[in-house]
Structure 1
Amino acid sequence: MQDNRCATAAEVAVLRERVARVEGRHDHLRDGLDLLSRQFSELRRDLTQAVDDNAACTRQEIMSRVDEMSRNTHRRDAEVSDRLSRIEGGIRLANWITVTVIAGATTLLGWARMGDALWHVWRHVLGGGA
């Protein structure tokens, strides 16, 4: 059998002191964990805000670049359209000049053949049939 022994007042005091130290450490750890939890929450909040701010800034930069590219595209389209209009106008002018020269040459050739025919007729009439 086992002897039941009672603790002395000094032993109870030492035990209470140890329990108090353990409880103090427990309270200290709990306070430390609470502090870490708050700091982690603040860090998460700050990181979320930083990511949101960065995303907004990135979206703004992208949209700015897209707008700039769109303006450049419209400007280039206008330049190309203007160049094509000038080229088309030049082709029309060249066609008009070509048609005019051909018509003039045809007319001159026609008048020349008529003049030649009249000359032969006149020579025939004046020459007496020769």
Structure 2
Amino acid sequence: MQDQRCATAEEVALLRERVARVEGGHDHLQDGLDTLSRQFSDLRRDLTQAVGDHAARTRHEIMTRVDEINRDAQVRDAEVSERLARIEGGLRLANWVTVTCIALATSLLSWAQMGQAIWDFCTSLIGGAS
């Protein structure tokens, strides 16, 4: 069997010192991990905020552009409607002038025919009486 040997005070002190260094290193690592965890949480929070802000800006820019496009479309629609109204008014005027000319020509021809018929009747009366 082996002889059991007792550690000297010096060896125990050296062992305690080594254990203390290991525990100190462990505490230091734990502090480092806690710091990294906080930094990661801060980074995640900042990234989430940045992505949210960017998305909000993008939505705002898109909606602004859509509003501009809608306004431009409404302006173009109003211009086209105005042009069509002017064309329609011109066509109505042209139709009215055409119908009026036709009615006047028809009336003049009718009056001319009636005048001719009356003239022929009167001349036949005068010619037949003589």
Q: Same fold (TM over 0.5)?
A: yes
Mapped partners of 1:3, 1:92: distance in 2:
129
Aligned residues: 129
Aligned to 2:126: 126
Using the alignment, how far apart are the partners of 1:30 and 1:76 within structure 2? 68
2:56 equivalent to 1:50:
no
The answer for the alignment partner of 1:107 in structure 2 is 107
CA distance in 1, matches of 2:125, 2:30: 139
Aligned residue in 1 for 2:16: 16
Deviations 1:72-123 (A, max 9, x none): 1221122122112101211210121111011111101101211221232133
**Could you give the per-residue CA deviations for residues 8-48 of structure 1, whole angstroms, max 9, x where no partner exists?**
33432332232122112201211110110121122122112
Q: For structure 1, which segment, 9-18 or 102-111, has the greater mean C-alpha deviation from structure 2 after superposition? A: 9-18
Question: For residue 68 of structure 1, what is the aligned residue in structure 2?
Answer: 68
Structure 2 segments unaligned to the other structure (5+ residues): none
Letter in 2 for 1:51: V
Q: Could you tell me the percent identity over the aligned residues?
A: 71
**Which consecutive unaligned segments of at least 5 residues does structure 1 have?**
none
- SS for the counterpart of 1:128 is helix
For 1:15 and 1:80, locate their aligned partners in 2 and report how far apart those are by CA, in whole Å. Answer: 95
Answer with 65-74 or 90-99: which moved more: 65-74
> Higher relative CO (CA 8 A, sep ≥ 6), structure 1 or 2?
1
- Aligned-residue offset at 1:3: 6.0
Q: Which amino acid aligns with 1:55?
A: A
Q: Distance in 2 between matches of 1:124 and 1:5?
A: 172
Equivalent position amino acid for 2:52 in 1: D
Give secondary structure in 2 for the equivalent of 1:49: helix
Shift of 1:62: 1.9
Runs of 4+ in 1 over 3 A off after TM superposition: 1-5
